[in-house]
Chains A and B, each alone.
Chain A
Amino acid sequence: MASASAKKIRPKYLSLPALLFEIRLPVPGWVSILHRISGAWLVFPFAAWLLYLLDKSLQSEQGFEYVKSEYLALPAVKLGLLLFIWCYCHHFCAGIRYLLLDLDKGVDLKTARLTSWIVIVAGLSLTAVLGARLW
Chain B
Amino acid sequence: MKRLVVGAHYGLRDWLAQRITAAIMAVYTLILAGVVMSKAPMTYGVWKELFTQGWMRVATLLFAASLAWHAWVGVRDILMDYIKPDGLRLTLQVATLLLLAVYVGWTIQILWR
Which residues on A are within 8 Å of B, measured CB to CB? 36, 39-40, 42-44, 47-48, 51, 54-55, 57-59, 61, 64-65, 68, 88, 92, 95-96, 99, 102
Contact = CB atoms under 8 A, between A and B. Distances in A.
A96 B110 CA distance: 30
23 contacts: A39-B78, A40-B78, A43-B75, A43-B100, A47-B67, A48-B99, A51-B103, A51-B106, A51-B107, A54-B110, A55-B109, A55-B110, A57-B44, A57-B47, A58-B47, A58-B110, A61-B44, A64-B44, A64-B47, A64-B48, A68-B42, A96-B26, A99-B22
B35 interface: no
Contacts of A99: 19, 22-23
B26 A43 contact: no
A57 B46 CA distance: 12
Interface residues of B, number: 24
A95 B22 contact: yes
Contacts of B107: 51
Interface of B: 19, 22-23, 26, 29, 42, 44, 47-48, 51, 67, 71, 74-75, 78, 96, 99-100, 103, 106-107, 109-110, 113
A51 B96 CA distance: 16
A41 to B, nearest CB: 11
A39 B19 CA distance: 14
Nearest to B44: A64
A72 to B, nearest CB: 11
Given A47-B103, A51-B106, A58 B42 contact: no
A42 B74 CA distance: 11
Given A58-B48, A58-B51, A65-B44, 4 more contacts: A39-B78, A40-B75, A57-B47, A68-B42
